[in-house]
Structure 1
């Protein structure tokens, strides 16, 4: 879905970056998930809000009419995203290089 509707994803990321700035150091978009390395402004570690905004903007743009379970309706979820994401704060230059190499290998 992400690859097929890449412009919706670009729009969601762009709108989020305008309201809550961050730099995209690397991003790999796969058909059903994505990997990203971001640099956030100093003293700002709020990955969660940024991901929530990207996911909700993308979902609204898709205007999905799929059936949802009770839990999804109560949480206003669309079922196209996992509820959680893996977050890792880069510790140093070596850690950054390792993660950039991993993202590069996925491409």
Structure 2
């Protein structure tokens, strides 16, 4: 379940409508249980995250610049699942700093 070198795309989110033509892409790195990476696409010009993985649970903090201007950041907790095709899915609960609303997104691994 190591995430090192894996790429994911967002397929759904309760926080916004996902642009299916240009979904947010996430690039993961992992070493010794520490995860980090970057993301871009959809409403995000560039973003970065850092956190930890313990078994199938990933906990991160993130920050990104928005195409509309400004920044957003927060925390998330993702559950790693293996899909029927053998690729991974990340089912994530996240919240933005300053907002207690918990959102849910799903990302699928790109082969």
Do these two structures clear the TM 0.5 threshold for a shared fold by scoring above it?
no
- Structure 1 or 2: more strand by fraction: 2
Of structures 1 and 2, the one scoring higher in RCO (CA 8 A, sep 6+) is 1
Give the TM-score category using the shorter length.
0.3 to 0.5
TM value normalised by structure 2: 0.35
